[in-house]
Amino acid sequence: YVDVCATNPDPATPDINTVTFPAPGDVLTSPVQITGQIAVFEAQFNITIYDAQGNVIADEPAMSNEGQTLAPFSVSVPFTVTAPTAACIWVYDISNADGVSLQDVVQIPVTLQP
């Protein structure tokens, strides 16, 4: 597979954000069920899928089971591609301080199938 992930602005530590599925290199069809554990304020976080050019393929607001503590999540993310596409899934929180900075980012390089 090709790792098309851009530079990670704020890599997550396993005690804050861990993705258990998919794994790097997985070949996925829509919708993809993304699972893991995350500790975020008010249990709200985001999942975005980017192509090799940095274009957004999918963007899904998400919720974990509870906030402030490492809690499980399972989020169905639909996407549309017309050919096998190298992509990067980002699972991350948005900074409470400024409302725009990405924090605690996990990146998973995958291939999306139509």
pLDDT in tens, 57-93: 999 999 998 877 899 999 999 999 999 999 999 999 9
Q: Is 99 left (phi over 0), alpha (psi -120 to 50) or beta?
A: left
pLDDT-above-90 percentage for the chain = 85
| Whole-prediction pTM | 0.94
d(CA 77, CA 103): 20
Alpha-carbon torsion angle 49, 12, 10, 23, nearest 10: -30
Long-range contacts of 66-69 (CB under 8 A, 24+ apart): 67/40, 67/41, 67/42, 67/43, 68/39, 68/41, 69/39
Is the peptide bond between 61 and the residue preceding it cis, with omega within 30 degrees of 0?
no
For 20-58, write each residue's pLDDT tens digit: 999 999 999 999 999 999 998 888 999 999 999 999 999
